[in-house]
Structure 1
């Protein structure tokens, strides 16, 4: 069984960062699900957190620009 702890991150095949969140999966009723990190941050914290997430991922060397 594939199970990640809440807060665990992974990169999908398209290069997007996904995070395991403690919210019910609306299709399977599982207690957690994987969400796109940029979208989850946007919905939970607003626009300022997205800028911070982009700065952090850029510092880690993960391409977030239009050419990556």
Structure 2
């Protein structure tokens, strides 16, 4: 695993630089184990926002990780 994100944060980047770093990579497949109630709620929230479950999860992760630049 690369230390790219950790090294980036040490440089005190702005939010735009962090977001650019996070979205500029290859797609990978992963398995995520969460309670069924959390999954159902996330799917419903994603639908309310007009997006799929995977897009919703990526958006949530991106929002949380981009806060480091603030």
Tell me the TM-score normalized by structure 1: 0.31
| Structure ranking higher in strand proportion | 1
Q: Which has the higher contact order (CA 8 A, sep 6+)?
A: 2
| Structure ranking higher in helix proportion | 2
